[in-house]
Structure 1
Amino acid sequence: MTTIYIGVMTGTSMDGVDLVAASFDPLHVHATLTVPFAPELRDELMALTLPDINEIDRMGKADIALAKMIGHGINTLIEKNNLDRSQIRAIGSHGQTIRHRPEHGFTLQIGDPHLITEITQIPVISDFRRRDMAAGGQGAPLVPAFHQALFQHPDIHRVILNLGGIANVSMLPAGQPEKVYGFDTGPANILMDAWCHRYTGQPYDENGDWAAYGQPIRSLLERLGAHEYFSKEPPKSTGREDFNLEWLDEQLSDWRNDLDYEELEDTPENIQATLMKLTTRAIKKAIYRCDLMDTGEVYVCGGGAYNSHLLEQLRWRLRKHHWTVQTTEVLGLSPTWVEATAFAWLAMRFVQGQAGNLPAVTGAKGDRILGSITAV
C-alpha cells in the first residue's frame, strides 16, 4: 500500500496555504490545493512579523485561526480527491513564520499542530527549524536537502532557485552530494509585491510587466544593495524582519535627501525595476560565487517562477557562463508545489528517523532529525 504524506507550506509572501499530498521513491503528487488567506488573517500575520503592542494575545488568536484554516483545508484536499485516510501517514506542517532571528538563536512559526491533528485525526510533524538551530544552525533554508534528493544530477551542475518572498538557492554540483550547499540570497517577491500593491492595488506585478516598464535607478540600487545582509558569508538566512516596506521607505527617504530632486528619476515603476534588479543581482552573485560550478542549469520554483520578466533578466545576467534558466516544471514538479512537497518529504524523513537538514547549508554541528510530532 502506498504511503502518503501531506505537506503544508505558508511562506513569506503570505498569499495562501499550499497543500500537497505526495508519496516518495519515486515522487508522485496525488493531490494539491491552495487555500487563500482571508484578508484580515493575512493582515494580522503580516503585522506580527514586526514588533508591536499586545503581540502575545494577537499571536495566540492568529495561531488558532491559521491552524483551523490548515486543518479544514487538509480535510477538503482529502475529500475532494477521494484520498484514502488509511494511506496518509503524517502531515508535515511548516506553519507561518512570524519571527526569524538566527543571530539570536530563535525562530517562531505558528499554526497550532495540536488543533490540526484534532481536526484531521492525522499525526502532524511541525516545528522543523528549531532542532537545527539548537545545533548551531540557521534553521533555514531547509529545502536544499529535498532539492538534492530530487534534483541532483550525476553529470550536470544544477541550481534550484526558490523565488518566494525571499529568494534562496540550492547549489547542486554534479555527482558530488557532499558538496551541496545553499542559502537565502535576499528578497525575491517580498518588496516587489508590497510596492506593487501600494501603487497599483494589485497583490503582485503580473509577469513583471510593471517593472519592465521602468528603468532601474543606479544610485538607489547601490543604497539598497548596501544592506549588511548582502555582504554576509553563508550560512545565512533572512526574512521579513530584514526586508520589509518600512525598511524600503526609510531607504527611499534617505536616498531622496541625499540628491537634488531635479536629479531623480523617482517614479514608482522605476523603483519597481530597481527592486527587481536588486533581486537578480544578488542571485547572480550567489551563483557565480561557487567555484565548483562554472556553468549548468538553473531551475526556478516558487511564485516568482511565473514572473516572465524576472526570468528574462536572470537569463541575461547569467548569459556570460551560459547558464540556462527554466522552471522546475520541466523536471516534473510544478513551481507552485515544490516547497509544500518538501515539507511532506521532511515529514517522511522524521517518521523514518532520518536527518532532514544539511549542515553545509544551515551551519548546524551535524545531521539532525527535524520536527516534533503531535500524535492522534
Structure 2
Amino acid sequence: MMLTALGLMSGTSLDGVDVALIETDGKQVKSFGPSGYRPYTNAERGLLRQALTEAVHLSHRDARPGILGEAERAVTLAHAEAVAAFIAQNRITPEEIDIVGFHGQTVLHRPERRLTVQIGDAPALAKAIHIPVMHDFRAADVEAGGQGAPLVPVYHRALVQSVPREGPTVVVNVGGVSNITYIDGTDTLIACDTGPGNALLDDYMFRVMSQPFDCDGRFAAQGRADEAWIARALELPFFALPPPKSLDRNDFAALRLGEVAPADGAATLTAFTAAAIARVVPLLPKVPKSWIVAGGGARNLTMLRMLRERVAPATVEAADALGWSADAIEAQAFGFLAVRGMKGLPLSYPATTGVPIPMTGGVIARP
C-alpha cells in the first residue's frame, strides 16, 4: 500500500531544514511531491556549532546538558516551523500525511562506542504538527554493532532502479560528510562514508572569509590545490578501510592547511573532498561506470569538475540532471525510510553499515 510521507532532514552542514513529500510503499517511489526549505538563522547556526563542541563530552545518548538542551529546543521548533510553512504553502492538511520522517540534528557520531546522538524532540514535534513522527532511525543499528550510517542507500537503490545504467553506478551524497552507495543490479548494495563533504570547506570559508560556504565553487576555482597536502591527508587510516565505515562531521577538523592564500585553501579542501570520494574506487568490487552526485556539493561546480578528473572515464552528473532533487534527496529518503520502518522493512544491511543482519529501525511518536 502506498503511503504519503513527509521527510525532514537537517544535515551536518548546519544550513537548515529540508522538507520533502513522497508517495511510496517503502520499496518503490510512486511520486515525488513538493519540497521546501527552512534555513537556520545565524543565531540558530551559532547555537548548533556550540552544541557540536559540547557533544564531544557526551557518554549517554539521551543526555542534554546545558547548551544541548537549548539546541534541541531550537531544532524542534525549526522543524515544526518548517512543516507548518510547507503545509500552508502547498495547501495540504495534516490528515493527508500518513507519517513524518524526522532525522533530527546529529551532534555526535561515535559508532565504535555504540553511540550516535541526534537532537530533536519527536513527541513535541508530533504534538505541534498533529502528525505521527518516526524518529531515532540510527539507534538500533548502532546498538547491534553497525555504523548507523549511511542510511540513505536503500533509497538510492529505489531511485537508480528508475534510471537504468550499464554497469555499476555510484550515488554520492555530498553533505557535511560525503557518502556513497554502490549499486550493481538489484543484488549488490554497498555503502560507506568516504571522508569530508562540505564540512571542512564550509568551516574554512566561515573562518577565513566570513561566508557560510563557497557559492558554486567560485572561490576554489580561483585557487590552486596543494596535491602534496591532499596525498598526506589521504594516508590517514580511515581511507584504506574497506566499506562499511562512517564518520563524525568533525573527524577531520584537526587537519590544518598552514599559511596559504585563501583561494588556494578552498581549492585544496574542495580537491580533498573529490580525492577522498575517488579513493573508494579500489575498495569496490568493480570500477563504477557512472557517478550521480547529490547533496549540497552537487551545486559546487568546481568539486564536480575535480571529481570528473579523478574518476575518468566514468561519467559524473548532478542528480538534478536526472530529474532528482539534489537538495531534497535526503529529506525524501527519510520519508521513504519512515515508511520502511512502519512496515518493518530493513533500513540497513551488513554491506551498508556493517550491522550483523539486515535491521529495521525507527520509533513512532504520536500526536
TM-score for the superposition, normalised by structure 2: 0.92
Once the two structures are superposed, the pairs formed by residues 321-360 of structure 1 within 5 Å of their partners are: 322-360=313-351
Q: Is the 8 A contact 2:153 2:352 kept in 1?
A: yes
Report the CA distance shift for 1:271/1:26 in structure 2 as closer, same or farther (over 3 A): closer
1:215 maps to what in 2?
Answer: 224
TM-score for the superposition, normalised by structure 1: 0.90
Q: Distance in 1 between matches of 2:38 and 2:299?
A: 19
Report the CA distance shift for 1:130/1:271 in structure 2 as closer, same or farther (over 3 A): same
- CA displacement 1:137-178 (0-9 Å, x = unmatched): 0000000111112214374421101011111110011x2x33
Q: Distance in 2 between matches of 1:154 and 1:312?
A: 21
**Shift, 1:356, TM fit:** 1.3
Secondary structure at the residue paired with 1:360? helix
Q: Distance in 2 between matches of 1:359 and 1:75?
A: 37
Once the two structures are superposed, the pairs formed by residues 1-376 of structure 1 within 5 Å of their partners are: 3-24=3-24, 25-51=28-54, 56-152=65-161, 153=164, 155-173=166-184, 175=185, 177-244=186-253, 247-248=254-255, 251-252=256-257, 266-292=260-286, 294-319=287-312, 322-376=313-367
Q: Distance in 1 between matches of 2:267 and 2:365?
A: 45
Q: Distance in 2 between matches of 1:47 and 1:84?
A: 36
- CA displacement 1:24-67 (0-9 Å, x = unmatched): 24432222111011212211212222347897121112111211
Q: Is the 8 A contact 1:72 1:119 kept in 2?
A: no
**Shift, 1:238, TM fit:** 0.5
Q: Distance in 2 between matches of 1:126 and 1:364?
A: 19
**Shift, 1:195, TM fit:** 1.1
- CA displacement 1:293-345 (0-9 Å, x = unmatched): x34211110001011111111111111xx211111123321100110000000
**Shift, 1:226, TM fit:** 3.2
Instruction: Give identity over the alignment, percent.
Output: 34
**Please, which moves more after superposition, 61-70 or 94-103?**
61-70
Q: Distance in 1 between matches of 2:285 and 2:70?
A: 48
**Shift, 1:288, TM fit:** 4.1
2:61 maps to what in 1?
Answer: none
Q: Is the 8 A contact 1:71 1:115 kept in 2?
A: no
Moved over 6 A (4+): 52-55
Q: Distance in 1 between matches of 2:289 and 2:235?
A: 29
5+ residue gaps, structure 1, are 257-265
Secondary structure at the residue paired with 2:32? strand
5+ residue gaps, structure 2, are 59-63
One-letter code aligned to 1:171: Y
One-letter code aligned to 2:339: M
Q: Is the 8 A contact 1:50 1:99 kept in 2?
A: no
- CA displacement 1:214-233 (0-9 Å, x = unmatched): 11223322333333322323
Q: Give the number of equivalent residue pairs.
A: 356
**Shift, 1:252, TM fit:** 3.8
One-letter code aligned to 1:34: Y
Report the CA distance shift for 1:335/1:154 in structure 2 as closer, same or farther (over 3 A): closer
Report the CA distance shift for 1:221/1:156 in structure 2 as closer, same or farther (over 3 A): closer
Q: Is the 8 A contact 1:2 1:87 kept in 2?
A: no
Report the CA distance shift for 1:46/1:35 in structure 2 as closer, same or farther (over 3 A): same
